[in-house]
Structure 1
Amino acid sequence: MPAKPKWAQLAELIRGQIASGELAPGDKLPSTAQLRQEHGVSAGVVRQAILVLQTQGLVEGVHGLGVFVTDNPPTGST
């Protein structure tokens, strides 16, 4: 079975942090640059992971401010 794409791995990691409460509603996610450095991935990988999480309703982007965990993230998904 092929390994998951890096963006899927990163999205899964952040999803887990939200589910565990490590990232609480209203918390700001690290910047793209921070995520790139921490996980050794490209900006495109970070953008794709965030896009997937936005589509799932877990995070929302606020122009000029960053990406935040939504107030009522869906539970029991995956």
Structure 2
Amino acid sequence: MPAKPKWAQLADHIREQIASGELAPGDKLPSTAQLREQHGVSVGVVRQAILVLQTQGLVEGVHGLGVFVAEHPAPS
């Protein structure tokens, strides 16, 4: 079985932080640059992970401010 893509691993990590309460509704996620550095991945990997989480309703991007945990995350 092939390894999960890096963007999927990062999305899983952030999803787990939200599920555990480490990241609460309204919390701001680290910046793209911070996530890239923390996880040793490219900007594209971070963007893809965030896009997937946005599609799932877990996070919301606010233009010019950043990405935040959704106030009412969609149930998993």
* CA-atom RMSD in angstroms: 0.4
Letter paired with 1:30: P
> Counterpart in 2 of 1:13?
13
Consecutive unaligned residues in structure 2, runs of 5 or more: none
SS at 2:8 equivalent = helix
Shift in Å, 1:74: 1.7
Shift in Å, 1:4: 0.2
Q: Give aligned-pair identity as a percent.
A: 86
Aligned residue pairs, count: 76
Query: Could you list the runs of 4 or more consecutive aligned residues of structure 1 that deviate by over 6 angstroms after TM superposition?
Result: none
Letter paired with 1:14: I
Cα distance in 1, alignment partners of residues 16 and 8 from structure 2: 12
Cα distance in 2, alignment partners of residues 22 and 74 from structure 1: 17
Cα distance in 2, alignment partners of residues 73 and 32 from structure 1: 21
Consecutive unaligned residues in structure 1, runs of 5 or more: none
> Counterpart in 2 of 1:67?
67
Q: TM-score, normalised by structure 1?
A: 0.96
